[in-house]
Structure 1
Amino acid sequence: MNKTKLWTKDFISVSLSNFFLFLTFYILLVTLPSYAMDELHSSSSVAGLMTTVFLLSAIISRPLAGQWLESKGHKKVLLIALILFAGASLLYFFPKTIVGFLVVRLLHGIGFGMATTAVGTIVADIIPASRRGEGMGYFVMSTNMAMVIGPFVGLLAMHQWGSSILFILSVIVAIGSLITGLSVRIKKTEQAAEKVVSSSFSFRNLFEASAVPIALVGSFMAIVYSALLSFVSIYANEIHLANVASLFFVVYAIVLLLSRPFTGKWLDQYGPNVISFPCIVLFAIGMLVLSQSNGAVTFLLSAGMIGLGWGTLFPTFQTIAIQDAEPRKRGLATATFLSIYDTGIALGSFIVGIIAVKMDYSTLYFFSSFYILVGIVLYYFLHTKKQRTSVSVKEQTKVQEI
């Protein structure tokens, strides 16, 4: 029996658009705080607002983008978002004060939040339903690859050629996202369905209730992941492994790339529980190994385990959020999931930063492994048990109808 085709032109185009979106994000994420301190002479706390303002504006814009996707149409929202994102990238050349830069970051974050919501929704419609787990896994790989390449390219540009080349590079990459996004075709049947939805504004319509439980699980886990993003390089310096710190997310991405053909198919064939429970445990073990690392082997081994664990969990959770929603609510489901998830990342960076003052990173990562295991309980009650109850209610309803 032939499989429904996954690697279509539209799937590749929307994945590339997502890759360029996140590549721009990571290029600037690692460079703008140092730019703010070195060239705008701001304090480290104010420089940290470069990331905070961007993420907050993205979080706030996503629910609105989710509602607009339903009422205005996928293609229109994607076009507006990508133009705003690319346009904001051009504005980095002009501000000479920290306030001006924060305004640009605010606009850029709005474009980013809208665009990532749009591409996440569109790809869910493009992927065949029978291969959604596999397809979402590959789609999220575009984000992971940007996470590996972006910081390297950004720091290289900043240190070798200066801020002007850095900003030119971010504009080129953002335009790449716009070009690849514009080549994606939206099915007419989907557009027709969208026009039926009321365009009236409602706070209730800003969130998709079915996506909230699994989004909360993802946000809970994201707090630990934010500790990795923010502090793993500092931890590597502490344990005298600065020479291999840059390889952490490279190994993370390689393991993801090698495992993706299997994990995605298993998700489609056996359901999310078969994937989620082992991956939560693997994520916890990876953090435990990281906390006890005293050499390059264990340090990079933990990267592989975390990559296989958390790297598989994130697309699994996003797939659950999309599948639990009605087809016409996928935009809101995507927006709800990503908004709550990013809130976990933002809160995690703040909370972990406070905790890190009280204890060393080895101890922090050690306790993080037990924190992750609590996620098993959270996942069971917010998804597995809830799903079983829903199935049981449906079966009883069918029996009564008969």
Structure 2
Amino acid sequence: MNQTEKQPIWTKGFISIFLSNFFIFLAFYGLLTSLPIYVVNDLGRSSVDGGLIVTIFLLSAIFVRPFSGKLLQDFGKKRMLMISMILFTVCSFMYLWIDNYALLLILRFVHGIWFSIATTATGAIAADMVPVKRRGEGLGYFVMSTNFAVVCGPFLALTLLQFTSFTTLFFILAFLITVGVLFTAFSKVNEVTRTVPVEKKRLQVQDLLDGKALPIALVGSLVAFAYSSVLSFISMYANELELLDAASYFFVVFAVVMIASRPFSGRLFDTKGPNIVIYPAIAFFIVGLLLLSISHNTFMFLLAGAFIGLGYGTIVPCFQTLAVQSTEHHRSAHATATFFTLFDSGIAAGSFVLGIVAAQLGYQTLYLLAGLFLISVVFMYKYVQNRKKISTSAMELKESSL
């Protein structure tokens, strides 16, 4: 075993940023689950208004995400993470006092801004912390912090609402974010900076997005588009099938399978290359969606969750790693911002477009079409990887001739 392979992933700094990211997404998913219910039941608004509470948060995050990379580069990742985490926490506490729908929309928009910057920062810092030769494995572990939150956030919110009020729930979520701030404060971050100073100039596209990360980020947006069918409509589909009790366990199975496979998939990515992991993962995701389209009992419903967890849960960290690896080390924040800008856009677009499909054709047809749509991801990914090989070969040929 060489020295590079001995470099650890689970350092104190990595654990701190892992936990910071977990608490951010714990609050995000807790509010994502509970706020539409709050809007309908406590504020007396329509289900459309409840959906808008989710949409406006995503829209602000998408709008700000391209600027996040430049902010992190100009002011430092640790500093911007602390600022955004503190303001994210302040916004979390403000839910305790706002009971007006218009003000709630404004709060959600502002909250989305700090969420966007904070999550870009945690992703970029994690990419800098893990050993370069173990980046696929390391970022795979880091994404588990989000996956844990996918299960814990909704479970915590829906369980607490059975015994207590929304006010208490909002306080607990805000308190947990405060714990995340403490982990951030005590984490040590080695900033990756340019070795050559650059003259100040007008804001350009490359200051916001990374062109080298853009191709794989576009493919990632297609995966996000398909996944929005699960994120947005799985509970309603379960209710239609009279399997609502199973819906609460869907993401538990999703997470358990994904966590169990993560050490192997990350190691395979680093040692054998991305293709040996990504192609089977896309196939598993397709199978999961097709199983959902024909589910009629709890076993098939949860089996679909297992395949989706194995597929989708593997694809996302792999694509994020490819995005970061595609560019220079000092632009990891830009690559992370580029990836999540397009990924969030895919989720938002999918929730809207697939919602129309579900209304017109039903949920079973929705999941069938989403599974078939993923076949296009195979060809898009293959095209992007082939273009990357051609570009790399041309560059190596040019350098050898000099």
Shorter-chain TM-score tier: over 0.9
Decide whether aligned partners of structure 1 residues 68 and 195 sit closer, same or farther in structure 2, where only a CA change above 3 A counts. Answer: farther
Larger mean CA deviation between 318-327 and 169-178 belongs to 169-178
- 3-state SS, counterpart of residue 42 of structure 1: coil
Deviation for aligned residue 1:348: 0.7
Residue in structure 2 matched with residue 182 of structure 1 by the alignment: 185
CA offsets, 1:132-183, max 9 Å, x none?
A: 0001011001101100110011112223211110110111111122111112
Say which of 269, 281, 284 aligns to 1:282.
Answer: 284
Compute the displacement of 1:295 (Å). Answer: 1.9
Q: Distance in 2 between matches of 1:201 and 1:295?
A: 58
- Written as runs of structure 1 = structure 2, the 5 A alignment for 1:1-400 is 1=1, 3-187=6-190, 190=192, 193=194, 196=197, 202-204=203-205, 205-381=207-383, 383-400=384-401
Aligned length: 398
Distance (Å, rounded) in 2 between the aligned partners of 1:62 and 1:182: 23
Looking at structure 2, the residues matched to 322 and 361 of structure 1 have their Cα atoms a distance apart, in angstroms, of 35
Deviation of 1:243 after TM superposition, in Å, equals 2.2
Deviating runs (4+, > 3 A) in structure 1? 192-201
Instruction: Note the residue ranges of structure 1 that are not aligned, 5 or more in a row.
Output: none
User: How far apart, CA to CA, are the structure 1 residues paired with 2:70 and 2:91?
Assistant: 23
TM-score, length-scaled by structure 1: 0.96
| Cα separation, 1, equivalents of 2:47 and 2:272 | 48
Could you tell me how far apart the structure 2 residues matched to 1:258 and 1:223 are?
25
Gaps of 5+ in 2: none
Does the 8 Å CA contact 1:132/1:319 hold for their aligned counterparts? Answer: yes
Tell me, yes or no, if the aligned pair for 1:219 and 1:340 is still in contact at 8 Å.
yes
Stretch deviating more after TM superposition (16-25 or 147-156): 147-156
Could you state the TM-score of these two structures normalised by the residue count of structure 2? Answer: 0.96
Equivalent-residue separation in structure 1 for 2:195 and 2:49 (angstroms): 42
SS of 1:81's equivalent?
helix
> Does the CA-based 8 Å contact 1:71-1:195 persist in structure 2?
no
C-alpha separation in 2, matches of 1:304 and 1:248: 8
User: How many angstroms does 1:391 deviate by?
Assistant: 2.2
Report the residue type matching 2:393 in the other structure.
S
Larger deviation, residues 358-367 vs 253-262: 358-367
Give the C-alpha shift of residue 123 in structure 1.
Answer: 0.5
Of stretches 1-10 and 330-339 in structure 1, the one that deviates more from structure 2 is 1-10
Amino acid paired to 2:144: M
CA distance in 2, matches of 1:162, 1:283: 37
The CA distance in 2 between the partners of 1:323 and 1:316, in whole Å, is: 10
2: CA distance, partners of 1:295 / 1:76: 50
Going from structure 1 to structure 2, the CA distance change for 1:325 and 1:65 (only over 3 Å counts) comes to same
Amino acid aligned to 2:177: A
SS of corresponding position for 2:168: helix
Identity of aligned residues (%): 42
